[in-house]
Amino acid sequence: MRILGIETSCDETAAAVVENGTKVLSNVIASSVDLHAQTGGVVPEVAAREHIRQISPVIDKALSDANVDWSDIDAIAVTHAPGLLTSLLVGVNTAQSLAYIHKKPLIPIHHIAAHIYANFLERDEKEIDFPVLILTISGGHNELVLMKGHYDFEVIGETLDDAAGEAFDKIARLLDLGFPGGPIISERAEKGSPDSFNFPRPMLDKENKYNFSFSGLKSAVKREVDKLTENNTPEGANGHSRLRGGMINNISASFQSAVIDVLTEKLVMAADEFDIKAVHLAGGVSANQLLRKTVREKLPKEIPLLWPVKNVYCTDNAAMVAAAAYFCPQKNRGWEKVEVHSQLPLSS
């Protein structure tokens, strides 16, 4: 079964063709990240206009890269929630029109389910044994999910404020490093010392054992940066760019280490409490090398740990949307029944 996936929930316009949920025949991504780098974050109107400009050429390229035409496509899958409404609308309206014109079933996909199914891409599905514990970490989401079978999700923890990726993006903006923050901060962190600053590791109380909160950490980093720049303002310096490079590396390393400690500790605690066969990392932050290494070291050796086989499957893409659709039990939704939602629980 070949599914055309479409993803436009944030700032990536993406389309892909995937066979039987695992074999990626094409994976096309047009990112408007350069536009958002100028503002240090995604501006919804700008993202939506870019989606409108890119969506048709991206879908055409996904079909031609896969060497297929419409008669080879069995269904269309599209991200319908959660995300920026104006961005989601472009993908969903396009998918609805194409489903109607080409008489294909349309399968609406939850964005977090798509990130979770990114771990099936280019793997033998028999490699994946349930129940699986998944840490989904991206710019908009931060959840601990117990997956007992296909589409059998139980969210056991989530963020009470900022997601891990959002924290990376905000600290990068504070340090004038650009957008998205994750890859830049982790690069700078490699040259710095994680012990330079003792930033808080918010673990929360018993009731919030598996929930996360990164806004206090963000404030602690801001207070430190303000203190460092207070008495150190060279003429003409702008924002926090007046910090010396070495100091930026040390702040990046100390901040990253605090985020990784919290994510790892909660993940390992949950892996110990629940009877699981494997642990998966998913979402943009799962591209982080130090996080992968730390989790592998802290997790008992006998528990398999997977992350997406390529970094392009960690961040937003449409191959994961097509994979999630293949394993979705409800494949026959009519085009007129699909709605967009800025927020929607994973288990709905």
Residues 73 and 121: their CA atoms lie apart, in Å, by: 18
Q: Dihedral sign, CA of 13, 17, 22, 28? A: negative
Q: Dihedral sign, CA of 38, 44, 49, 50? A: positive
CB of 111 to Zn ion, least distance (A): 6
Residue 132 or 287: the one with the smaller Cβ distance to ligand KG4 is 287
- Taking 3-state DSSP, the helix, strand and coil percentages for the chain, each rounded to the nearest 5, stand at 45, 20, 35
User: With CB cut-offs between 5 and 8 Å by kind, which of Zn ion, ligand KG4, none does residue 158 bind?
Assistant: none
Distance of CA 62 to the CA centre of its chain: 21
User: With CB cut-offs between 5 and 8 Å by kind, which of ligand KG4, Zn ion, none does residue 285 bind?
Assistant: ligand KG4
CB 88 within 8 A of CB 9: yes
CB of 172 to ligand KG4, least distance (A): 7
Candidate ranges 48-56, 132-140, 180-188, 239-247; the one touching Zn ion (CB under 5 A): 132-140
Residues listed for the chain: 348
CA angle 78, 342, 136 (to 5 degrees): 75
CB of 83 to Zn ion, least distance (A): 8
For 252, phi then psi, to 5°, come to -60, -45
Of 40, 157, 192, 284, which one interacts with ligand KG4 (CB under 6 A)? 284
Distance of CA 237 to the CA centre of its chain: 34
Interface positions, 174-213, toward ligand KG4 (CB under 6 A): 180-183, 186
Residue 139 or 194: the one with the smaller Cβ distance to Zn ion is 139
Residue 160's SS3 state is coil
Residue 50 or 166: the one with the smaller Cβ distance to ligand KG4 is 166
Residues 185 and 177: their CA atoms lie apart, in Å, by: 8
DSSP-assigned states of every residue in 282-325: ESGGGG-HHHHHHHHHHS-TTS-EE--SSGGGTSS-SHHHHHHH
Residue 5 or 180: the one with the smaller Cβ distance to ligand KG4 is 180
End-to-end, the C-alpha distance of the chain in Å comes to 25
Structure-token pair, residue 178: 């650009």
Over the window 139 to 178, marking each residue x when it contacts ligand KG4 by CB under 6 A and - when it does not, the resulting string is xx------------------------xx-xx---------
Structure-token pair, residue 136: 């989904």
CB 107 within 8 A of CB 133: no
Residue 12 or 224: the one with the smaller Cβ distance to ligand KG4 is 12
Residues 203 and 31: their CA atoms lie apart, in Å, by: 34
CB of 273 to ligand KG4, least distance (A): 26
User: With CB cut-offs between 5 and 8 Å by kind, which of ligand KG4, Zn ion, none does residue 181 bind?
Assistant: ligand KG4
Residue 13 or 73: the one with the smaller Cβ distance to ligand KG4 is 13
CB of 181 to ligand KG4, least distance (A): 5
Residue 146 or 177: the one with the smaller Cβ distance to ligand KG4 is 177
Interface positions, 295-334, toward Zn ion (CB under 5 A): 316
Q: Per rule CB under 5 A, is residue 136 in the interface with Zn ion?
A: no
Residue 179 or 335: the one with the smaller Cβ distance to ligand KG4 is 179
CB of 317 to ligand KG4, least distance (A): 8
Binding site for ligand KG4 (CB under 6 A): 10, 138-140, 165-166, 168-169, 180-183, 186, 283-285, 287-288, 315-316
